[in-house]
């Protein structure tokens, strides 16, 4: 038995952080808000290709430390590197970027409104024997 793909990740936040987080994941990353179970707390389920991949849950009363422990970042595959770079520059959103040594990939790193590091990975050439699984 093994796992197949990452199903989703959940960000716990304060109620007042919901809208800035939703705006970031919808307007910057292009996710789409969709159906969400009728939980007893406010939140949003954000979808990509029909799958709810980011869950926002207003479960915190106070702002916690902006540390993620051993978690360094969350990565998404992206399309159209040049368009995303221009979009981020136009919106004044700070980001870093670099090519992946030995792989036909380029990464952009930015932070969501709570300070979580987000990676956007773009293919810059055809798959190779080194990275055939990365799409």
Q: Does domain 72-135 have CATH number 3.10.180.10?
A: yes
> 103 CB contacts (<8 Å, ≥6 apart)?
128, 130, 131, 134
| pTM recorded for the entire structure | 0.85
CATH 3.10.180.10 residue ranges in the chain?
1-62, 72-135
pLDDT along the chain (135 residues), means of 10: 84 93 97 96 96 93 69 91 96 96 93 93 80 53
Instruction: State the pLDDT at residue 57.
Output: 93
In this prediction, residue 2 carries a pLDDT of 74
Q: How far is CA 25 from CA 30, 40, 73, in A?
A: 6, 22, 15
Q: Which residues contact 17 (CB under 8 A, 6 or more apart)?
A: 58, 63, 113, 114
Beta bridge partners of 33: 46
The CATH fold assigned to 1-62 is: 2,3-Dihydroxybiphenyl 1,2-Dioxygenase; domain 1 (3.10.180)
pLDDT at site 64: 65
Residue 31 has a pLDDT of 97
What is the predicted pLDDT for the residue at 129? 62
Q: Is 122 in contact with 108 (CB distance < 8 Å)?
A: yes
Q: How is residue 62 written in tokens?
A: 């106070």
Q: At CA 72, angle to CA 56 and CA 20, rounded to 5? A: 30
Shortest CA distance to 119 belongs to which of 6, 20, 3?
6
Q: What per-residue confidence (pLDDT) applies to 3?
A: 76
Query: Which whole-number Å values give the CA distances from 118 to 24, 58, 73, 127, 132, in the listed order?
Result: 11, 20, 6, 23, 23
Which pLDDT belongs to residue 50? 94
């Amino acid at each position: 038995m093994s796992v197949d793909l990452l199903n989703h990740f959940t960000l716990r936040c304060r109620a007042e952080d919901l809208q800035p987080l939703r705006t970031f994941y919808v307007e910057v990353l292009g996710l789409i808000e969709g159906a969400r179970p009728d939980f007893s707390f406010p939140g949003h389920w954000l979808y990509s290709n029909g799958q709810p991949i980011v869950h926002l849950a207003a479960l915190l009363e106070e702002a916690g430390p902006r540390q993620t422990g051993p978690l360094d970042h969350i990565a998404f595959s992206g399309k159209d590197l040049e368009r995303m770079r221009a979009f981020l520059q136009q919106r004044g959103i700070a980001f870093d970027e670099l090519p992946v040594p030995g792989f036909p990939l380029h990464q952009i790193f930015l932070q969501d409104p709570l300070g979580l590091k987000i990676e956007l990975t773009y293919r810059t050439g055809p798959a190779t024997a080194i990275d055939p699984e990365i799409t």
